[in-house]
Amino acid sequence: MFSIVLNIFGTLMHLYVTARLYRIDAIRRHVPARAWTLGALALWLVYLGGVHLGDEALDWRWWPGQFAMSWIGFLFIMSVCLLAADLVTGFGFWWKAHNRKVTAGAALLGVLVSGFAVYQAMRTPVVVEHEIVLPGLPPALDGTVLAAASDLHLGAQRRAPWMKDVVETINGLQPAAVLLLGDQVEDEPTADPALPGVLRGLRAPRGVWAVTGNHEFYGDAAGTIAEFEQGGVRWLRDAKIELLPGLHLAGIDDIGSRLRGGGTVLQGLDALYPAPAQGATILMAHIPAAPVIERARELGIGLLLSGHTHGGQIWPFNYAVARRFPHVAGAYRAGELQGIVTRGAGSWGPRMRLWKPGEILKITLRAP
């Protein structure tokens, strides 16, 4: 179903953009109409093939798949810019002496914005700091620093070299522990022999802890878990530990995979906490679903960390994401519960982020 939607909308935008671009004088003078049409047809066929192949494969199929996802992102940005130009010029009926120049300017703006979006997605994530007063935190742990990252989406494109930059950024925060909030991989294990060594480079005296996201279960989840365990990562799959004396860390498996298996959204959380939480507690749950937030509040959990939304990734899709999830990005409160939804370190689909780059969280805990 998803590929059908991509085919329909991608095709419509492809037709619109290629038609409007051919109104630009510089293109019409140098490219014959027949050549332009054949080129547009060839790109469209590659796009359709790439959508069918997908971009999660680690072999040659990644290239057409990644082209398709990036192309639809480019088409969207170009469509927005060109549509704005059409509205300003009344689709060519106003400013007839200048409407082709307006179209050319809109096309140039679309290219520049697309390039900026690619840069924002591919750069090393920025550090975003949060200071959290955590109920029940012992005074001795005041000032404890945790680093959290979500949605790395390691795979064919983001591999060990990119992750090495992320590791260096995290190590610079000098965290007591590192928390990975799901979607560590695109779908399948990376099969990158250098990745375990890179992961072992994370310096956190209280360890590196992870929960699963939906993308782990789109592929070989067991293989991904084993691959990260080789790098010293420990998984919290409906489990909890005492991270430091008086500070508890819990994690639940991806709720989407549980639903696909016939379970319920709250199955893992209810099994983990049959009674309210005691003391300072941090819960990691990849998807910030409203039922999970409400149950965490009822259980007296102090801090809930999630990812999944990517902050909408490309504006204005953040507004669409907000219709599905109560919190898209940043810190929030639900009664006594505090939460943070990170927009993630990597990206999915189009390798684009507009307007904000990926992020790594630096969380400083404060005693009441």
Same domain membership, residue 248 and residue 347: yes
Give me the pLDDT at residue 112, please: 96
Give me the pLDDT at residue 155, please: 85
Domain count, the chain: 2
The secondary element (H helix, E strand) that includes residue 296 is: helix 290-298
Same domain membership, residue 137 and residue 101: no
Point out the domain boundary residue: 81, 105, 121: 121
Same domain membership, residue 178 and residue 303: yes
By the 8 A CB rule, do 283 and 305 touch? yes
Any idea what the CATH number is for the domain that residue 295 is in? 3.60.21.10
Q: What is the dihedral of CA 106, 74, 47, 358, to 10 degrees?
A: 180
Burial pattern 50-89, b for ≥16 Cβ within 10 A else e, equals: bbebbbbbbeebbebbbbbbbbbbbbbbbbbbbeebbeeb
Give me the pLDDT at residue 263, please: 84
Same domain membership, residue 251 and residue 267: yes
Residue 202 burial (CB count, 10 A): 22
Same domain membership, residue 161 and residue 87: no
Same domain membership, residue 291 and residue 168: yes
Cα-only R_g, the chain: 23
Distance of CA 111 to the CA centre of its chain: 23
Give me the pLDDT at residue 34, please: 92
Residue 218 burial (CB count, 10 A): 17
Q: List Cα–Cα distances, 154 to 104, 216, 299, 342, 358, in angstroms.
A: 37, 11, 33, 17, 14
Point out the domain boundary residue: 93, 121, 149: 121
By the 8 A CB rule, do 219 and 182 touch? no
Taking each helix axis as running N to C, give the angle between helix 2-21 and helix 62-88, from 0 to 180 degrees, rounded to the nearest 10. Answer: 50
DSSP sequence for 128-154 = EEEEEE-TT--GGGTT-EEEEE----B
> How far apart, in whole angstroms, are the C-alpha atoms of residue 23 and residue 88?
16
The contacts of residue 82 (CB under 8 Å, 6+ apart) are: 16, 17, 20, 21, 103, 106, 107, 110
Point out the domain boundary residue: 100, 121, 142: 121
Q: Could you say which residues of the chain have pLDDT below 50?
A: none
Give me the pLDDT at residue 56, please: 55
Same domain membership, residue 38 and residue 154: no
Q: How many CA atoms lie within 13 A of 144 on its CB side?
A: 27
Q: Which of 203, 207, 210 is nearest to 235 (CA)?
A: 210
Same domain membership, residue 181 and residue 95: no
Give me the pLDDT at residue 58, please: 56
Q: Is 361 exposed, middle or buried (0-12, 13-18, 19+ CB in 10 A)?
A: buried
Q: What is the pTM of this model?
A: 0.89
Domain limits at 36?
2-121
Same domain membership, residue 309 and residue 254: yes
Same domain membership, residue 12 and residue 66: yes
Match 């500070």 to its residue by tokens: 247
Same domain membership, residue 138 and residue 108: no
Same domain membership, residue 50 and residue 30: yes
Give me the pLDDT at residue 57, please: 56
